[in-house]
Chains A and B, each alone.
Chain A
């Protein structure tokens, strides 16, 4: 096969370097065992208990909440409203696009001398307050880069009171974090019933006992025999030709063996050669530890939210950093999934702090200054390591498969929503492509493009469904030009 030029199809888009092939992630068996043990220890009941505790404490806080200076409010309802309307730009204890809102009503009434009507007015129509020449309104407007606050004319006084109540006395953080994970020393077996492992362990013990008993019985019998003067004769091996010599002398056998050895060697050599250039399982270390598991799995973000060009382009597209910042402007730290990091994650070092550190890497790359909430720094584009590499002579179009063929991303990319570290799931060999084209029916329904073709096919051959291969999906020129 001729070598192909390194002139890349997208010369500016991709930079080429020499490889530091990163080994696949081999889960350490010790870690595996440890995590198994941990998973046994942290039982569902335990976490359920935590949830209950957290819920209880929230309720307690709500009951205890006596609202803000502007009047009583329901903090639980306030939290809901806050998350719906405010959280995109405000946090309780942290500057974001807008100021931190913890105790905002108290602060404004006591420090700035503003009344609640000002607050209501501001929330419903901040631009109007600014335009009226209000000094505090203008100062805060200028302080936050003249970012206009969305007007919320639909919020009632009571809604605002609820929100303010939440900002005055936010429900305490879930207690779950306080409970040391895996710290429980209770008897797990007793709690969750007799597990399979226990049964297996018991069986193993029984077998071991049996073996030992057999050995002991044997020894005892031998002793008895000796004591009785019975000589147990060891069978003497017959002096004859050693088996390997006999084998060597049988030329036919040697020939057959050699042939089989050669065939075997050829089989393995072929197998080895065929995997050259196939990078299935390739999971390079990326400059930012991006977890598809958290994004696509835990948070259920649609693949095409970030990889939007997969719908219309041949490239799925690595999302540009402004797409990341759509969410990460407000999501500045990782708080873990509700259960907290799993034991396995902890063993890998995937703590909340670790993930938060990765978000900071994103900020550094995009030039985001958290203090001023602005893109103040010089951006440093992220050099991701490309995982799925098709050779230049193969044309592949994502939109054809995603939009037209309506194929799930997971069909080729595997369970991405479970991948902590992204890896190449499929071999991406031509045989693999062809196989799928042979087996997959073309999505003709509801697509006017296929209307005529479908009609003719039905008329001519009486078939309702055709595979991609029958539509010409195996022709060389469809992918190689």
Chain B
């Protein structure tokens, strides 16, 4: 059966009195232009000093002045290099492989540079372990050009020279030896072999040195559990592509869970191949990306998750665990236990609960299952934060035992729950130096602020995972008078050696084991011999087994205790669950306008964080979400209190799928120091992150007022036209004919029902010669992560418009990821009921009855960009032929020809055209990166910067396809399939977006086009898009 499920985008659509929904469905811009406000004030108009005659004079004068000025063109100066670097050819991009390791995000990447400027981050597809690039990594290139960056070292009085800083620190370090005070290093997670070696040398040189790693959003519990079991502070790695059954207890592994980067493995198993795909069962409180992608999602509070985990473990062991679960959850766990037992080695269990017991139980359970996806022997090192060590350090600082405190990549005064205590302790340290790229609360309080280099200006190395190393190399000289922390340590140790030499020494001395340094640097990564050598692996395995053998009895006893503690978890009345958003992470890139404007994949809200509340709790607390007349979302405010700490004025978003009694709040917002006023958005959730536990007992009270969100949720409705997302279950997919689950809409031709695809008003071009581009988007593989959205921004110079404009539905994203909620369980019932409707009234009432807004919805993500229709409705209505078609399948947009009638946008059934309401560059009203010379360095020189009054839209990165074609022509060869890419397909780590030439029968995209799951968006309109989608298949098989 075709899925005729009713999709809804917001719970407001489901309430009976939501007249705004109907209004929005009818009118894209529901608000009248405010001319009355202006013309209505007759008195003011009359009293104006400017007469009509004056007005005409001004108009005439300015027209004449403008035309006169236009007669003289500007003189452009061309300044060539004095000595041109060998590898730089103006107009040709260079790519460098490097590694991002900023303490929160770790990945192997390629950096595209033009004329020596890094302008784009790409995935390093060759790297054996990628740590996929997410939206934040894609956006990190803009943080390099942040105009608020620190431009040199400072102290309280103002700018200082590095010499002064060095002399002071050296003198203090030298004097410490006698005073008996310690030197403390408080740093981000480096996972860097060279930095570890350096710090060891530093400790040797000065003695009494403590090094504490600190993650703003840490994985303490998981690290502790792994350490207890395997003796090393690391995180077990998981390869989800090897799992048939994925069970998650609050682990948002498609988000930032344990460093993230699991998308590609997960997505690989989610695409049905030979009738099989993985099944994903998810227990969680907040609606997360992973939960949204799950086949079965059970909303559950963190305490209940613990009980469920204990019950599952017990069931697999054949014992039982206490604790009470809601009925639905209890049943789900029972069914799950059977399924896990059946899947055996093919099952994997993960948890994001910040509880060492839960983490220990999960490790034990995966080991017990012999899970293939579970890789404890090659763990990840990308989280090192140690809460206990930090506590000890703060105590030492408070006691005056710390003489020098050196900090790098951390902002404890912003990210610590007990920031005030840290501030007090910091005051007792004789000398503190904080390395940072930007001003932060911590740099303001430290004795010296040391301006640190951005990672694109730095050398470094990272061990992402055991045996998998990444090298960081600078791709641009330091823009400012900045220095790396490691280089500074070397200087303070009195070493002549540079940090580059030190890294190289480390590598050539050990890691490379004879391999070529230059090759490793060129590749940006190095897979160590430990991985390639089976003997080493076997030894490790042997060690592991030995360790297990020795500790077996104690482990069993510990486990039993852990399970019983888990089962005894007490459910609080209200639980706050803190999380990090894919757009903002821990907030270290809060000054990045791309990320601020990036709409959250789930709530579609940009420029804010908020408390997510279930509908039932919202009703109980009297919280509301309303839509203002202009389509903007408004939400109530609440004050939330955890353990005596109150964060007030938190806006509320009512979130379908939120577990009852739980509330979600994202980290990374509410930062004020060192940020432009526009970027100071949201509230700071870190004060509530007590004991580094994301689950907190909370009390919530409603506050006065309504918050204005910049949400693109109800905007760009598809005007009530359904059949956007086609969806089916694995069972139907495997057993029924494609016509059943991928039904082609029928239209009447000569009184006969025929498929809509066969009827056409227009003659077709001959596109059989040359290239004909198509794009495939697999709804099964798309996790909604949004890396493509930022990649598109970077590639195409898409402007940032700001919160106010977003609220007015003037967002400029060329690529949006629509998120649709649906209803579970009533799938068949829905269809039957819908078919029986007659008349508008009944269907309206029927839909309201049909769906329970508080239920746990299924979610589908759908990336939508210009569909590049072969018969494009926009082209026929353009009065100036500014948008036209190419035989390669692109729908072209000639900005210089556009006069801004916006007819095309009105006639586009997909609503993918974006209008430049203002000049977004060189305009103080839009003080983002395009308003300063530094930020403009990120612009792609091959793509135009659009001006006011011009329509723009996805160009399918024609500059990239044109380049691939030209390269091939120049080299006299055919283009290979991999060469044809767009920014989004390049950025997509899950392989959901595939771009290519369908005239090449060997190309991946032409194979996908022949797939039975292929369908076009709004097929019945007859636009013949060149973008097609693959039907979403859910694995709802219970066993």
Contacts and interface: CB of A to CB of B under 8 A. Distances in A.
Contact of A481 (B71, B83, B943, B949): B943
Given A1-B896, A317-B89, A383-B77, A447 B82 contact: no
A305 interface: no
B939 interface: yes
Contacts of A456: 768-769
A3 B919 CA distance: 10
A366 B969 CA distance: 37
B922 A385 contact: no
Contacts of B40: none
B912 to A, nearest CB: 16
Interface stretch (A40-48, A291-299, A469-477): A469-477
A157 interface: no
A7 B921 contact: yes
Contact of A379 (B82, B89, B91, B897): B82
A17 interface: yes
A18 interface: yes
**Majority DSSP secondary structure for residues of A touching B:** loop
Contacts, number: 225
Interface in B941-956: 941-950, 955
B70 A276 contact: yes
B959 A481 contact: yes
Nearest to B890: A477
A447 B958 contact: no
Contacts of A381: 79-82
B82 A385 contact: no
B267 to A, nearest CB: 30
B549 interface: no
Interface in A376-414: 379, 381-386, 389, 391-395, 397, 399-400, 403-404
A28 interface: no
Given A312-B89, A366-B82, A452-B974, A385 B898 contact: no
A4 B944 contact: yes
Contacts of B885: 475
B937 A404 contact: no
Contacts of B91: 309, 313-315, 317
A15 B77 contact: yes
Interface string A451-480: 111001100100000000001100111101
B896 A393 contact: yes
A318 B76 CA distance: 13
A379 B919 CA distance: 39
B930 interface: yes
A449 B83 CA distance: 35
Nearest to A6: B922
Interface residues of B, number: 72
A329 to B, nearest CB: 13
Contact size range, A: 35 or more
Interface in B462-504: none
A323 B974 CA distance: 34
B25 interface: no
B870 to A, nearest CB: 14
Contact of A21 (B72, B79, B942, B974): B72
B899 interface: yes
B81 A277 contact: no
A249 interface: no
Contacts of B73: 19, 21, 277, 279, 389
B80 A5 contact: no
A146 interface: no
A10 interface: yes
Contacts of A449: 965, 968-969, 971-975
A12 B117 contact: yes
* A2, A391, A446, A447: most-surrounded residue (chain B CB, <10 A): A2
B884 interface: yes
B900 interface: yes
Interface string B889-902: 01011111111100
Contact of A320 (B80, B769, B936, B970): B80
Given A5-B922, A386-B78, A453-B769, A320 B71 contact: no
B89 A313 contact: yes
Contact of A403 (B90, B893, B970): B970
A3 B117 CA distance: 27
A29 interface: no
Contacts of B79: 13-15, 381-384
B818 interface: no
Contact of B892 (A284, A309, A451, A475): A475
B942 A276 contact: no
B895 A472 contact: no
A236 interface: no
B865 to A, nearest CB: 15
A384 B73 CA distance: 16
A300 interface: no
Contacts of A188: none
A402 to B, nearest CB: 10
A2 B933 CA distance: 23
Contacts of A7: 921-922, 930, 936, 939, 945
Contacts of B838: none
A255 B321 CA distance: 107
Contacts of B83: 320-322
A13 B116 CA distance: 11
A3 B950 CA distance: 10
A321 B90 contact: no
Nearest to A402: B970
Contacts of B965: 449
A472 B892 contact: no
A386 B76 contact: yes
B970 A399 contact: yes
Interface in A343-388: 365-367, 379, 381-386
Contacts of A317: 80, 89-91
B966 interface: yes
Given A7-B930, A313-B90, A313-B92, A17 B75 contact: yes
B363 to A, nearest CB: 52
A11 interface: yes
Contacts of B947: 2-5
A16 interface: yes
A128 interface: no
Contacts of A201: none
B886 interface: yes
Contact of A391 (B75, B896, B933, B970): B896
B933 A11 contact: yes
A242 B898 CA distance: 56
Interface in A400-458: 400, 403-404, 446-453, 456-457
Contacts of A279: 73
Interface string A253-296: 00000000000000000000000110100001000000000000
B287 to A, nearest CB: 38
A475 B90 contact: no
B28 interface: no
A391 B74 CA distance: 11
A284 B72 CA distance: 14
Contacts of B84: 320, 322-323
The 9 closest A-B pairs by CB, nearest first: A477-B892, A313-B91, A320-B84, A386-B76, A320-B81, A315-B91, A476-B894, A393-B896, A314-B91
26 contacts: A4-B896, A4-B947, A5-B945, A7-B945, A15-B79, A18-B74, A314-B942, A317-B90, A322-B83, A323-B84, A379-B82, A384-B79, A393-B894, A397-B966, A399-B970, A449-B965, A449-B968, A453-B769, A456-B769, A460-B769, A476-B897, A477-B886, A477-B955, A477-B958, A478-B886, A481-B958
Interface of B: 70-84, 89-92, 115, 117, 768-770, 882, 884-888, 890, 892-900, 919, 921-922, 930, 933, 936-937, 939, 941-950, 955, 958-959, 962, 965-966, 968-975
Given A11-B941, A389-B73, A460-B768, 7 more contacts: A1-B899, A277-B70, A317-B80, A323-B84, A381-B82, A392-B944, A476-B882
